[in-house]
Amino acid sequence: MQLSPVLAELDQYPFVRLDSWRTEARQQGIDVIDFGVGDPREPTPTFIRDALVAGISDISSYPRAAGLPELRDAIGAWIAGRYGVTVDATRELVPTLGSKEAIFSFANVALGERRVVAVPEPGYPVYERGALFAGAEVVTIPLREDHGWLPDLDAFDAWDELAVFWTCYPNNPTGVTAPLSFYEELAGRAQEHGFVLCSDEAYSELWFGTPPTSALQVADRENVVVFNTLSKRSSMTGYRSGFVCAPPAIADALRAFRPSVGTAPQEFVQRASAAAWSDEAHVDAVREVYARKRATLLPALTAAGFRDAGGDATFFLWLAVDGSSETAARQLLEHGVLAAPGAFFGPAGEGYLRFALVPTQAECERAATIIREVFA
C-alpha cells in the first residue's frame, strides 16, 4: 500500500522536534516556559462565550458555505471601520473554519494550467503544505533582514508561471509589517501576470506601533484574496472562525468548492463570531496584554546579547543570535526557556530565534529573570 508521499515528507518537519525537546527537558526535571508554539492561551471574552451559547438553536442543520448574513455583515462592517474599504458582504466574503483550512485548501481552487505557488521562507508552513497536497510546484521566496523581511520582488522572474503568490504581514515569524506600496506593487504584478495574490493577515490586530495596512486597501482588488481570523484578535483559536475576502469570481469558486470539504463553520460559532467582529474594546485589551509581555521579555533578551531583528507587530519576538539557532535554543532550554530556532521556519531563518508571547505575564517575568541572570 502506498500512502501520500507528501505525508511521508511531513514526518521530517522540524517543528515536531520542539515537542520532543520540551518532553525531554521536563523528564530531566526542568520547569519549561514554552515560547515555542504560537497558540494563545488568553481567555475568550465573556460576551463572546455568551453569544456562542445564545447562538445554539433547537434544530441543528448543516451550515451553508455562504455563511450567515449577520456574520458577513459584521465582517463587512469591520473591514469598513478598520480599513475604510467597502466590500460586498454577500459576493466577496466567505466565512472559514479559522484561516488555516482556507489557506491549506486554496490551491485546490486556484490551480489551473499554472501549477506554481510561491511561498515565503521563513514562514508559516501551511501555504506550502496545502500547495503540495494539491499537486502544485512550490517555489520559496526568501525573506531577509537586509530587505526588511519583505520578498525581493526584483529577484524573482517567473511571474508568468505563477498561480498564487503568498504573503503574510504582520509576519509570522519576524513580526514586521508591510507598507501599502508593497501590496500595490504585488497587486499590480498579479493583474499584469494573471496570478492571485494571497495575503494572510492573521496577525493584523496585534500591533504595537501604528495599525498595519491590509492588501484590502489596494486601489484595485481584482486579483487579491485576503485571509483573516478571530484566533489571535479575539483569543478564539478553539472556535475556528475566520474569513476570506475575495473578488466575486474567486469567492464563487470557494462557495462551489467548500461544500465538498464540509468547511462551513457551525452556525452558533458564526453568531459568536459576529459579536466578536463587532467589538473593538476586547481587542484593545488583548493588545495591552501582549504589549506588556513584550515590554517584559524583549529588554531582558537584548540585555542578554540577543539582537532584536523583528518588527513591532504580532505576538512574536524575532531575535538574532550568534551562530546556530538550534544551539542557542538548546542553551536557553537548559535553563527552562523554550524558543523556536529560526531554522525550523526555513533556511533563511537560520541565525534567529522566535519567541511566541503566549505564556502568562508571570511566566514572562520569570523567563526575563532567568535570561538576565544566566545570559546577561
Ligand X SMILES: Cc1ncc(COP(=O)(O)O)c(C=O)c1O
| 266 near ligand X (CB under 6 A) | no
Q: Which of residues 131-190 bind ligand X (CB under 6 A)?
A: 168, 172
The distance of closest approach from Cβ of residue 97 to ligand X in the complex, given in angstroms and rounded to an integer, is: 8
| 244 near ligand X (CB under 6 A) | no
Q: Which range touches ligand X (CB under 6 A), out of 99-107, 245-253, 261-269, 287-295?
A: 99-107
Q: Which of residues 269-308 bind ligand X (CB under 6 A)?
A: none
| 229 near ligand X (CB under 6 A) | yes
| 121 near ligand X (CB under 6 A) | no
Task: Indicate the residue among 287 and 366 with the shorter CB distance to ligand X.
Answer: 287
Q: Which range touches ligand X (CB under 6 A), out of 9-17, 46-54, 94-102, 254-262?
A: 94-102
Report the distance separating Cα 193 and Cα 7, nearest Å: 32
Task: Determine whether 139 is exposed, middle or buried from the number of CB atoms within 10 Å of its CB (0-12, 13-18, 19+).
Answer: middle
DSSP string, 180-241: HHHHHHHHHHHHHHT-EEEEE-TTTT-BSSSPPP-GGGSS--TTEEEEEESTTTTT-GGG--
Report the distance separating Cα 265 and Cα 253, nearest Å: 18
Q: Which CA distances in Å does 224 have to 78, 108, 245, 321, 376? A: 18, 17, 8, 36, 46
Q: Which of residues 196-225 bind ligand X (CB under 6 A)?
A: 200, 202
Contacting ligand X (CB under 6 A), which of 95, 242, 336, 349?
242
SS3 of the chain: helix, strand, coil, percent, to 5:
45, 15, 35
Q: Which range touches ligand X (CB under 6 A), out of 83-91, 143-151, 229-237, 366-374?
A: 229-237
Instruction: Write out the three cell numbers for 39.
Output: 497558540
Task: Indicate the residue among 121 and 200 with the shorter CB distance to ligand X.
Answer: 200
* Interacting residues toward ligand X by CB under 6 A: 38, 98-100, 103, 124, 168, 172, 200, 202, 229, 231, 237, 242
